[in-house]
Structure 1
Amino acid sequence: MPCPRFKFSLLFIIFFTFSNLKGEDGYRLWLRYNPINNTTLLESYREMFESVELLGESATMDAIRNELEMGLGGLLSQKINFGESANKGLLIIGNYDQHEKIKAFLEPEEVENLGEEGFVIRTIQKDNQKLILITGLQDKALLYGTFHLLKLLQTQEDISGLHFKSIPKIKVRMLNHWDNLDRTVERGYAGFSIWNWHQLPEFIDQRYIDYARANASIGINGVSLTNVNANALILRPDYLEKVKALADIFRAYGIKVYLTARFSAPIELGGMETADPLNNEVQQWWNEKTREIYELIPDFGGFLVKANSEGQPGPQNYGRTHADGANMLAEAVNPFGGIVMWRAFVYSNEEPEDRHKQANMEFQPLDGKFKQNVLIQVKNGAIDFQPREPFHPLFGAMKKTPLMMEFQITQEYLGQGTHLVYLGGFYKEVLDADTYQSGKNTTVAKVINGEFLDQQVTAMAGVSNIGTDRNWTSHTFGQANWYAFGRLAWDDQINEEEIAKEWIKMTFSNDSEIVNALNNMMQASHEAMVNYMTPLGLHHIMAAGHHYGPGPWVDFMSRADWNSTYYHKADNEGIGFNRTQSGSDAISQYHPKVAEKLSDLENCPEEYLLWFHHVSWNKKMDSGNILWDEICLRYQKGVDQVEGFLNTWNKLEGEIDKERFLHVKSLLTIQLKEAKWWRDSCIAYFQTFSKLPIPEGVPQPAKNLDYYKSLSFPYSPGIRPRW
């Protein structure tokens, strides 16, 4: 008859095997906690975790206990004993300031500068017993440390001599949900909004808790719940009760909620005749509304605002500046420790200047005029989340105003929910770019992490790719971009390959051949997408409105800068947008050191060539090809790369669970089909200008240009709603 411990372990194995067969649909994300199948490693881990001692009581400590029960219980296939009964291995988790037992193991300097979220993990030998210690100065730090330890086990790392200290470089690390109150998601490709406003606050979906767990596991500590194209109803008392229900869930996981504020809310909700930020009654309305929110949600984070952009109301409606509008809201949240994130994504059809220049033109003159608790939220590039963009010039132009990064995790212009495009390397490319704002090596990362400016708070936001699809992100590999964003928001110095391999090991397998194969595919995927969509600095040539598929011929939109032809400017002479001094002069908004390199046609990096220059079809490129041939060959290279991804994936049949294998295979098949669509339609269109033959190695387009122009997709997901 088996002993009780063996019986429990057997039941645990049966349970996790069954859930593995039934539940490998991606829902568990990177928190799968499947049993470790390396016998030697498993036994060593079991010795280290004979018992767990949690010091302190709180909702966060309860969350830690629950995660350890799932995590250690699943990985080690055994019941976790919470107490001090271990003979060989004991895990101790507690607040350094509150427990003398913790202080006895560490020197004071080991916990210096931890702040609210930094944590320490130490392996300590005491007599014949090995202790693993997780500590910090607040309970949420202990939670982050717990997730880190579980990650080490999931990725099968050596934990026998841990001496690890981690402090986030960015204070506010948040997801921006572009979710509407009717549960549609603007630029969302994974189903509907996970927020069921109709059933809140009474019904609490388990999905909300699992969402909080996933975010906390990668250090995300803020969530903006609603679309930046805001609806004032979210500020109505009944909706605030619903927001409170979510905030109450997230609090245990160290996550604050933020709301998008519609600037005209005093008119729409308050019955006022104006929303002028300098009007005393308007200011009072916002003060009272803010107080109402904080009475319900004491740790409310603050407001995110899109104003005077794409039809959204703002202070300019009343002849006021962005600073006037932002400062009014900053005054309202300041007594409660809140912040205002004011988006710099502004452009006007009435403004004749190059759209690339408009945000800089509006915000740079206001540098230093914003309250201390205002951050200007700047997209990574000046146009709009293109497959590849040079860094936004505002990162080098604002020297007195805190800036925060806005990355897009959802793939609006990157194949949406069906293309495998890992963005860890692209995020790093932007963060590592040198702005020269305060001399050489003033990277974008250092600008936003506060290294060069004394500021109250630092922040980074990612536009969410999350929806009601069972696997959260539509494409399984879309999860990797959510994961990479969180990891880089915590520490921008982490290598993108390290991040990818962590995610692969936790999501698929620790087998080195599988890890290497998938990592190679992921690392090449962004460049492949650029090749088959927008090579050599082409940009915004997607179809109108929904941005699904190619549309370099688009020239019928009501606004000039909603048309593809505005950006590529192809003619019989060449192609590309001249942003040098002889053109729009957008390059002059960068530091002279940056501008000097970008302005020189011969030295401009080829990845930005057509972004900044109108180039002859016959210009000789670094490869020795003329520009026309190089464009065609880049399109073909992108197709070849995707075909390689599909071949790599097919070789993993039997190594990946059947459900996810077939799902990813079908999406890679779609991606290959659409890469060919991009190649054929763009080459067919641009050839009408170059009038040059398609080079050897690139097939003739499968259809004529009229066919590609005729394609219509009226129900593409993620289309922006119009109110």
Structure 2
Amino acid sequence: MQLSACFSARVRLWCPLFLAFALALSGLVASPVRAEDGYDLWLRYPPLAEGARRAALPLATRIVVEGEDDSLRVAGEELTRGIGGLLQTTPPVAPQVSAGAIVLGLASSPRIEALDLPLSDLGPEGYLIRSVRMEGQSVTVIAANTGPGVLYGAFEWLRRMQVGEPLTDLDVRSTPALRLRVLNHWDNLNRTVERGYAGQSIWDWHTLPGFTQTRYVDYARANASIGINGAVLNNVNANALSLTGPYIAKAAALADVFRPYGVRVYLSARFSAPVEIGGLPNADPLNPEVAAWWRAKADEIYAAIPDFGGFLVKANSEGQPGPQDYGRTHADGANMLADAVAPHGGVVMWRAFVYSAENTTDRARQAYEEFVPLDGTFRDNVLVQVKNGPIDFQPREPFHPLFGAMPRTPLMMEFQITKEYLGFATHLAYLGTMYEETLQSVTDRPVAGSTVADVVDGSAEGHGLTGMAGVANIGSDRNWSGSHFDQANWYVFGRMAWDPRADAGPIARDWAKRTFTPDPEFAEPVVEMMMGSREAVVDYMTPLGLHHLMATGHHYGPGPWVDDLARPEWNPAYYHRADATGIGFDRTASGSNAVAQYAPTVAARFADPDRIDERDLLWFHHVAWDRPMRSGRTLWDELVVTYGRGVSTVGDMRRTWAGLEAHVDARRFDEVSQFLAIQEQEAKWWRDASVSYFRTFADRRLPAGEPEPEHDLDHYRGLSFPFAPGNTH
């Protein structure tokens, strides 16, 4: 066989294995190259380069575990696994301290206590990593007040080794800014996943509780490695059967697996459960029988899961039952459930995503109008869970006006990790930039300069109960998330839930180094590609503040022409409002006046078309096609150019990735390459279909140099995808 054959596309996948085998026989490498499937996520522990390995060996001679705590045990196991892979030698786990030992322990451990370390202000989950002298030996101590805190510290020490950060003279202190850092799984009992693009649900309800897969352990490991401490197991569009005895037993089995990793289990509660499975005539939250039923149900759950976190509730939204069915308020419903879990230390996360067919006001206004009058009426163990923007996880939205508008109520951020409106699993879109954009947005409430992050972490308003939720992108696919780069969104969510002021760039670099290789010749171009990827999606899907232009139901592909659905806010035409005069949704005082829900300083900026960031222009303004933009182009020309820029950016991403083949195993390289090809094709589809449609209103030529759409508008309108993934309705 000629070595040149290895450059053939037909043999690219198996040829590296042949070469590695041949080289192994000649003694040049130790073992064949292993194609990777993505299962190991960022917890890959391949051998370090020889120089880094030699430098690290004296710093990891043994592992000393001080205590019997289950979390300490798994921390020791993770260090053994990580060091064994990275350094190619497995350190002993032994009680004796020696030079280079890593000592894991709680503040209450005599050896840790003797060091007089500043641990008291770390809280229940913070950790300290410090290079110290213990019993005459130079060691690294990883200490905390609880076992999960030590585990978080162990993962941080391994992260530093993976990416090549110094392991000597350490003095690291870290505490989470948010108390609840939770994944929301929109998983159904039949294993379908609403808005899931990575296969079936990872919860095999049929085989639980008797069979607990190794995958559940690895799920918990991955969450603990980035600081996630909770999982809502079932869909917010909940099935009441989730609260019956057999399913409580299944949830308890998962809780037992997760517990050593510091991950608590939560359940979405269907508000009408007292009727559906309890036999009561109604679910009125002010009915004493209903309240008693929920108290008994909470007692039943806590008997099976002593550290059960509490309930997540979607009520009176998109047809879901809720307290308004009985003339009651969201606070009435939330407080009734909060009273049921309060004796056990549980919480209620009550979603603020509400809109109804009966409400004819601008959908962007509805949550604010329903919840602001209730500020201060919720129990102390209730968080109102608010999406990052006022519509629905769009590629770009201004921050939700509720942030800063309910100073007496803890507000929990809700981000979407799965990319319902950002190309599903096949489009590369790193969401860290979106999370950062939202969290750094200035609310000017409760005081000037306040940001969304200040509200979410409680510092702006003095709340101790804080949290961030992410709608999970995890499924049964071998690579967990449907594509390799979608793993980065799970990763950055965890990191930003721990620190909502973190920078998306360094987190992307960490992920790329841990997931692929720390080689800067790979990491730097990949990070640059990631950091521009979400903006590319905005450009070719919803530029200049356009939003909700996706096709009906499944939200796959463009559908700006849809205008015949029963509810106005289901129609893309409701949002773009294109006509012969211009395009955009007027949310100023002359329109829906949604700007008035923001602080006056913020509202004034949004309301002024000359001051607003042009990326948000059409969200708040109906703008003439010939309006001059800051680039000097007209709005029409700017719109077309922006669509095209999104497409060309994806082409640049493809070329960047193609140049990195030497740094990536063949399997993952090919899979990412194929997805980028799909993305470029679909970006062009988005651009051509949208330009064809909006040109029917603008009635203008395309700017010079911009290509004509490949097909006519009828072609794009005729496309149909009834079985696109992720739509379980």
TM-score normalized by the length of structure 2? 0.95
Partner of 1:75: 86
Q: Of residues 158, 165, 178 in structure 2, which corresponds to 1:157? A: 165
The 8 Å contact of residues 16 and 74 in structure 1, kept in 2 or not, is answered as: no
Residues 56 and 707 of structure 1: CA distance in aligned 2, closer, same or farther (over 3 Å): same
1:31 aligns with 2:43: yes
CA distance in 1, matches of 2:61, 2:143: 19
**Structure-1 separation of matches of 2:149 and 2:183:** 19
1:425 to 428, 433, 442: 433
How many Å apart are 1:385 and its aligned residue?
Answer: 0.2
Matches of 1:441 and 1:502, distance apart in 2: 30
* Structure 2 partner of 1:568: 576
- Asked if the contact 2:197–2:418 (Cα under 8 Å) also holds between the matched residues in 1, the reply is yes
Cα distance, 1:524 vs. partner?
Answer: 0.5
After alignment, is 171-180 or 43-52 more displaced? Answer: 43-52
* Separation in 2, partners of 1:58, 1:439: 44
What letter is aligned with 1:116?
P
Paired position in structure 2 for 1:604: 612
Change in CA separation of 1:86 and 1:294 when aligned onto 2, cut-off 3 Å: closer
The whole-number CA distance in structure 1 between the counterparts of 2:529 and 2:152 is 29
Distance 2:80 2:344 in 1: 36
The question of 1:51 aligning with 2:62 is answered yes
CA contact (8 A) 1:84 1:90 kept: no
The amino acid that maps onto 2:192 is: T
Q: Secondary structure at the match of 2:349?
A: strand
Amino acid at match of 2:52: L
CA distance in 2, matches of 1:16, 1:77: 12
Displacement of 1:15 after TM fit? 13
Aligned to 2:402, which of 394, 398, 402? 394
Q: Identify the residue that residue 6 of structure 1 maps to in structure 2.
A: none
Post-superposition shift, 1:635?
Answer: 0.5
Q: What does residue 286 of structure 1 align with?
A: 294
Deviation at residue 577 of structure 1 after TM alignment: 0.1
Q: Would you say the 8 A contact 1:71–1:150 is kept in 2?
A: yes
Percentage of pairs with the same residue: 53
Query: Which residue pairs with 2:459 in the alignment?
Result: 451
Tell me the equivalent position of 2:113. 103
Counterpart of 1:204 in 2: which secondary structure? Answer: coil
The 1:626/1:339 distance shift into structure 2, 3 A limit, reads same
Structure 2 residue 345 is the aligned partner of structure 1 residue 345: no
2:540 counterpart residue number: 532
Q: Are 1:216 and 2:224 counterparts?
A: yes
| Superposed CA offset, 1:79-107 (max 9, x none) | 221125565311111001x2221123344
Match of 1:3 in 2: none
Q: 2-side partners of 1:453 and 1:68: how far apart? A: 39
1:422-470 deviations in Å (ceiling 9; x for gaps): 0111101100111111222211111011113343411100000000110
> Is 1:65 equivalent to 2:73 in the alignment?
no
1:666 and 2:674 matched = yes
Q: Please state whether the residue corresponding to 2:409 is helix, strand or coil.
A: coil
Change (3 A) 1:14 1:152: farther
1:299-378 maps to which residues of 2 (within 5 A)? Answer: 299-378=307-386
1:183 alignment counterpart? 191
What per-residue deviation string (whole Å, max 9, x for no partner) do you get for residues 20-39 of structure 1?
615x10000000011112x2
Q: Which residue does 1:649 correspond to in 2? A: 657
Q: Which moved further from structure 2: 679-688 or 82-91?
A: 82-91
Distance 2:407 2:623 in 1: 34
Cα shift at 1:698: 1.3
The one-letter code matched in structure 1 to 2:381 is N
Task: Measure how far apart 1:17 and its partner are.
Answer: 5.2
Whole-Å separation in 2 of the counterparts to 1:642 and 1:549: 16
Q: Distance in 2 between matches of 1:194 and 1:63?
A: 22
What is the distance in 1 between the residues matched to 2:446 and 2:643? 38
What is the DSSP-based 3-state SS (H/G/I as helix, E as strand, rest coil) of the residue aligned with 2:663? coil
> Which structure 1 residue ranges, 5 or more long, are not aligned?
1-9
Residues 17 and 70 of structure 1, relative CA distance in 2, 3 Å threshold: farther
Whole-angstrom distance in 2 between the partners of 1:225 and 1:111: 33
2:64–2:97 Cα contact (<8 Å) kept: no
- Asked if structure 2 preserves the Cα contact closer than 8 Å seen for 1:504 and 1:518, the reply is yes
* 1:128 Cα deviation after fit: 7.5
2 CA distance for matches of 1:127 and 1:238?
52
Structure-to-structure mapping, 1:125-274, within 5 angstroms:
125=133, 129-274=137-282
1:127 Cα deviation after fit: 8.7
SS of match in other structure, 2:183: strand
Gaps of 5+ in 2: 1-23
The alignment's TM-score, normalised by the length of structure 1, stands at 0.96
Distance (Å, rounded) in 2 between the aligned partners of 1:132 and 1:581: 61
Residue among 21, 25, 36 paired with 2:34: 21
* 2:704 counterpart of 1:691: no
Q: SS state of the match for residue 555, structure 2?
A: coil
Which amino acid in the other structure matches residue 146 of structure 1? A
Distance (whole Å) between structure 1 residues aligned to residue 137 and residue 65 of structure 2: 18
- Paired residues in the alignment total 704
1:92 counterpart = 2:100? no
SS state of the match for residue 371, structure 1?
A: coil
Instruction: Say whether 1:506 aligns with 2:514.
Output: yes
Question: What is the DSSP-based 3-state SS (H/G/I as helix, E as strand, rest coil) of the residue aligned with 1:532?
Answer: helix
2:325 is aligned with what amino acid?
N
- Distance in 1 separating the partners of 2:132 and 2:699: 72
- Aligned partner of residue 142 in structure 2, secondary structure: strand
RMSD of aligned residue pairs (Cα, Å): 1.5
